[in-house]
Amino acid sequence: MKRFLLIWIMLFGAFFVSACGDSRVHSQAVYMLVDTSGSYAREMNKATKIINYLLATLNPGDSLAVAKVETRSFTEKDIVAKVTFDKRPSQATQQKRAFKTKIEEFSKVIKGSAYTDIIGGLIQGAEYLNETKAGIKTIVIFSDMQEELGKGTVRDFPIKLDGIRIVALNVTKLGTDNADPRIYLDRLARWEARVRKAGATEWVVVNDLENNMESILNTR
């Protein structure tokens, strides 16, 4: 009888030990860049909606970070909030609530920046995502994709975005784009070429935020 019980206990133990597989391969990590430059800072309401959508969709074990695009964005200081959700759903829910509160606080005190350093944000995002070792890595850029670099900011060098999806959200048309749509199309084409050259696995543009939200994340 004792031997019988021992066998059962050993089986239980073996099962639970073997069950702990590598979860990182199956997890997602999302780094969201929010453009706060000039008139685009007024779009923060939409950005909050996107973040809420991400919070509702991401699962326990996934990672999320939100950073602002500033004059020079290659710095941890620009990360507004970041979290790797706990494996337990109840804890993950608590973390999501806390994240939401942080974003709400950020949206109240937002200040527009003079320049827009998207590339710096991309490099910072890639660094963060690679550290998470997640299976699916996505950088979401909430911007009009009009990069303006300040004096002394160097970004014209090859960057590395290997294995990262890039999603451009709410790419609004500027006044000049309306006059000549080729400027807008060329801008998007240039960005696509640059990120693909950098090793990005996918380039997605989502402008219809009401109906096309599911394109932001890659479904498992």
Partner 1 sequence: MIERHPWLFWPDSVALSILVLGILVMLFLYAARKPMHGVIHSVCNLVTQSTRYISRWLFLSSENLRLRNQAVLLAHSQESAASMIDREFERVGNTIRKDMQEFPVLQRKLMEEVTRIEEDYRRCGEVPPPPPEWVGALESVSQLKSGGDIPRKLLEDINKSIQKIHDKTVAEYRRSYEERHKILKGMQPVWRSVDKLMVEMDQKMLTLHSNAKQIDDDMTKFAGMRAKDSKTEHALTVSAFVQLAISSLVMVIAMGGAFINYKLIALPMSEMVGASDYITNNLRTSDVAALVIILMEASMGLFLLESLRITQLFPKIASMDDRMRRRLMLASLIFLVILAGIESSLALMRDMLIADKASLMRDLASAAPAVSEGWITNIPMAGQMIMGFVLPFALAFVAIPLESVVHSLRTVIGVLLVQTMRGTGFVLRFTGVVFRRFAKVIELIYDILIVIPLMVERWVVALRGNSSAKGQAQSMSAS
Query: Minimal distance in Å, beta carbon 162 to partner 1?
Result: 21
Query: Minimal distance in Å, beta carbon 95 to partner 1?
Result: 10
Residue numbers of the site for partner 1 (CB under 8 A)? 1, 4-5, 15-16, 18-23, 25-27, 52-53, 55-56, 59-62, 87-90, 92-93, 96-97, 100
Query: Minimal distance in Å, beta carbon 118 to partner 1?
Result: 27
Residue 62 · residue 28 · CB < 8 Å: yes
The single-letter code of the amino acid at 62 is: D
CB closer to partner 1, 93 vs 153: 93
Residues with Cβ < 8 Å from 112, sequence gap 6 or more? Answer: 36, 37, 38, 39, 40, 41
CB closer to partner 1, 106 vs 191: 106
Q: Residue written as tokens 């990262």?
A: 164
Q: Could you give the CA distance from residue 73 to residue 212 in angstroms, rounded to a whole number?
A: 28
CB closer to partner 1, 39 vs 59: 59
Q: Helix, strand, coil proportions of the chain in percent (round to 5)?
A: 45, 20, 35
Q: Could you give the CA distance from residue 198 to residue 202 in angstroms, rounded to a whole number?
A: 11
Around Cβ 41, how many Cβ atoms within 10 Å?
17
CB closer to partner 1, 11 vs 114: 11
Q: Could you give the CA distance from residue 27 to residue 218 in angstroms, rounded to a whole number?
A: 11
CB closer to partner 1, 86 vs 192: 86
